[in-house]
Structure 1
Amino acid sequence: MTVNTILFDLDGTLIDTAPDLAYALNTLLIENELPEKLYKNIKPLVAFGGKALIKYGFDCDENHPNFLAWHRRILEIYTDNIDRSSATFTGVNSVIKALEARKMHWGVVTNKPENLTHLLLEKLGINPDVVVCGDTLEFNKPHPAPLLYACAQLAVEPKSCLFVGDDKNDMLAGASAGIKTIAVTYGYSKVSQDWNYDYLIDQVEELMELL
């Protein structure tokens, strides 16, 4: 197998965004005179987006009369603080440089909305060759469409790609797209063998050893 393209999930894989999402939730809770939630309890929910944070923080479902207003507000807070503490995980910047030095394609495939994804990448000075977001297409991960779209944008075959992620949905999407998957243990989800990943790494630098 000749690999010429590496695609990455964003939150929990490329960038540690959990601190700012936790800040947004706790700021919202404080505004509503409710107690803050522990970071360790918020962190595993980050991959599921703002609605999951609202459900947890306010112990409610989407039928609550204030749900939409709370969701809009948490997105406002997060947008205004999107790079307050968020940063690339250890080793990510050096791996990106190494991939670019090898003239390899690399990109981001995330379920995060386009406006937040591009704002975050811009704030952190990260410039992938392709970016596919949760609202770019009709479908998002675990559907294979975003990964296949990224490959099409780069004019590369799925079999020449690797997809790196920290969630079972990343592995499912990769398998469905015919792309070899790499699960990372440093992310927000606890890796399980039933993810059926192809490779497992503890640090992103191990990606270069695989290549």
Structure 2
Amino acid sequence: MKKAVLFDLDGTLIDTAADFIRIIQAMCKAENKPIIDADAIRAQVSEGARAMLQLAYPDISPQDEKFTHYRQLFLTEYENNIAVESRLFQGMPELLSLLEEKKIPWGIVTNKPRYLSERLLKALHLDQRCAVLVCPEDVKNTKPDPEPMFLAAQNIDIDAQDIIYVGDHPRDIDAGRAAHMYTILAAYGYLPHAHKDDLTVWQADSIVHDVPSLQHSILKQI
């Protein structure tokens, strides 16, 4: 039986897309540029700020100083207003409470920078409930490498093979599988367009399309 549950952050545990959409579209409006479609932005959330900004500024190289300027504007606005619309996915508050009632620790392994991850968790009053938070700064190799998974397991003193990992990106499932965790693909999340056609090729142990289904899948393992 599994003894802990780890989540990816954006698109798996917390629905953060609305805040990214708000900022990118506001930047477009400020420069009278075509407004980027919300679904297009949502599909790039898991790829980070650079990928989202490239939707708005496709003609500017990421190495260009102007692109760096826009990236800093984006990150500053996000940091200062990090949870205007971001919320736990519907059904997730109940799932986290259930895990806590069952004394099953839950935590986060994310590629989101620590300063933003901590600020987001604090804004949503999750920082004191989360048993472990592993961010890129904590490891030499980020997901899809299993290093952050093993670090999280070590920090909560539970063998990796006794942990469930939930994510919405191929690198999440790859990292979980490489660490011999039980992997669950959160198909309700921000699936990259290039990887949406056949979710079975991700080779996750389970695929769920909403949080109630996720809860059912987890309960079967704990």
TM-score (norm 2): 0.90
CA deviation string 1:49-91 (max 9, x = no partner): 1011111110033133301111111001111221111100011
CA deviation string 1:129-181 (max 9, x = no partner): 00111222222111111111000000100111000011111000001111110
How many angstroms apart in 2 are the aligned matches of 1:198 and 1:206? 14
Determine which of 148, 161, 173 is the counterpart of 1:171. Answer: 173
Q: What is the one-letter code of the residue matched to 2:207? A: L
Contact 1:28 / 1:73 at 8 angstroms: preserved in 2? no
Question: 1:62 aligns to what?
Answer: 62
What's the offset of the Cα at 1:36? 1.9
What's the offset of the Cα at 1:41? 1.2
Q: What is the one-letter code of the residue matched to 2:28? A: L
Deviates more, 1:24-33 or 1:73-82: 24-33
How many angstroms apart in 1 are the aligned matches of 2:213 and 2:54? 36
Q: Where does structure 1 differ by over 4 angstroms across 4 or more consecutive aligned residues?
A: none
Aligned positions, number: 210
Contact 2:114 / 2:136 at 8 angstroms: preserved in 1? yes
Matched, 1:104 2:104: yes
Contact 2:184 / 2:206 at 8 angstroms: preserved in 1? yes
How many angstroms apart in 1 are the aligned matches of 2:214 and 2:34? 41
Question: 1:146 aligns to what?
Answer: 148
- Shift of the 95–74 alpha-carbon distance from structure 1 to 2, 3 Å rule, reads same
- Percent identity over the alignment is 31
TM-score (norm 1): 0.95
Give the match's secondary structure for 1:205.
helix
CA deviation string 1:69-122 (max 9, x = no partner): 111110011112211111000110000000000001110111111011111111
Give the match's secondary structure for 1:7.
strand
Contact 2:36 / 2:55 at 8 angstroms: preserved in 1? no
Give the match's secondary structure for 2:166.
strand
Matched, 1:120 2:127: no
Q: Which stretches in structure 1 are left out of the alignment for 5+ residues?
A: none
Q: What is the RMSD of the two structures over their aligned residues, measured on CA atoms? A: 1.3
How many angstroms apart in 2 are the aligned matches of 1:152 and 1:203? 29
Question: 2:28 aligns to what?
Answer: 29
How many angstroms apart in 2 are the aligned matches of 1:204 and 1:147? 22
